[in-house]
Amino acid sequence: QAQLVESGGGLVQAGGSLRLSCAASVRTFSTYAMGWFRQAPGKEREFVAAISWSGGSTFYSDLAKGRFTISRDNDKITIYLQMNTLQSEDTGVYYCAADFDSRAVVDGTTDYWGQGTQVTVSS
């Protein structure tokens, strides 16, 4: 069964950094666009960043531009989200998503989601 497994979340002070990882269980995902969403308490899930299957194209929401960097290693079938200068507003559960159609990743309509990893930023 195809799975996406996130890791790397935790508690960090404001201004700090975290690196999230999302490992896919099947090699098929190395040909998929992948991305990150997050959901803060009491809020809807929102798009953070996405990356094309080759890694040649990346897409960021305004909240991520300049602070977050998405990357991937197709040999490991893993994507990463380097998050710098974290703020309390970045607190939430971060989800990995994947789809053959990159638009389904960016707009969140894909069926492939991980279980999420909690990020808590203390001020």
**CA–CA separation, 120 vs 123, rounded Å?**
10
In terms of Cβ atoms closer than 10 Å to its own Cβ (0-12, 13-18, 19+), residue 23 is middle
C-alpha 35/C-alpha 95 separation (Å) is: 8
For residue 79, name the pLDDT band (cuts at 50, 70, 90). Answer: very high
CB atoms within 10 A of CB 11: 12
Length of the chain: 123
pLDDT band at 2 (very low <50, low <70, confident <90, very high): confident
The edge-to-edge listing of strands for the beta sheet with 4-7 is 4-7, 18-24, 78-83, 68-73
Q: pLDDT tens digit string along 7-59? A: 999 999 999 999 999 999 999 999 999 999 999 999 999 999 999 999 999 99
Q: For residue 105, give the DSSP letter.
A: H
